[in-house]
Amino acid sequence: MVAAAAALADEEGLPRLTMGLLAQRLGVRTPSLYKHVGGQEDLNRRIAVLAMNEAADAVGGAVQGYAGRDALAAAARAFRAFVLEHPGRYGATVGLEPTGPDDPLAAASTRLLAAFTAVLHGYAIDEREVTHVLRMLRSLCHGYATLQAAGGFQWSTDVDESFTWLITFADRGLRALGGGPGE
């Protein structure tokens, strides 16, 4: 049911996803859904957990065997592709906080964070800077991907070329910050 809801959120947009629309898609009556989820908020949270785990799989798989700029590029491209392919389910993750350490969202978030943290091993980043660097990488990747998904790039310059430029810029900044080659 959550997978069907996530697919519907991708097709229609998360704001348009309702229990009624999901019930219609599944060919059941809306009250039947409440046997499986506590309501719209619970459904959106479950979609967010699914999305975080899927994004963690995509990014984690993409960076394996790479280091430095190659790992950075692989992670950024995998994350961007995930957001572009799954804008509704990714949208469910934005602004959601785990309710505690046992919340499945906490585990899924930790997995995605670990995938991006692995990228940093190719740079000599001071441990005190890691949180700031991870926030910067998330801002770059999230911002670019969500703007692109929303049709926010209207200029004629190729968006892939601009994204490659963004990766190069981030790589140079990380190498300068860490003082290492990053290659």
Number of CB atoms found within 10 A of residue 58's CB:
22
**pLDDT tens for residues 106-151?**
999 999 999 999 999 989 999 999 999 999 999 999 999 999 999 9
Give CA–CA dist 46/5, Å, rounded: 9
Q: What is the pTM of this model?
A: 0.92
Assign domain 45-178 one CATH number from 2.30.290.10, 1.10.357.10, 1.20.1070.10, 3.40.50.800. Answer: 1.10.357.10
DSSP state of 129: G
Rg of the chain in Å (alpha carbons): 18
| Cα–Cα dist 176/169, whole Å | 11
The domain ranges of the chain are 45-178
Whether residue 73 has pLDDT greater than 90? yes
From the CB of residue 109, how many other CB atoms can be counted at a distance below 10 Å? 21
Looking at every residue in the chain, the average pLDDT score rounds to 94
Q: Measured between alpha carbons, how far is 3 from 50 in angstroms, rounded to an integer?
A: 8
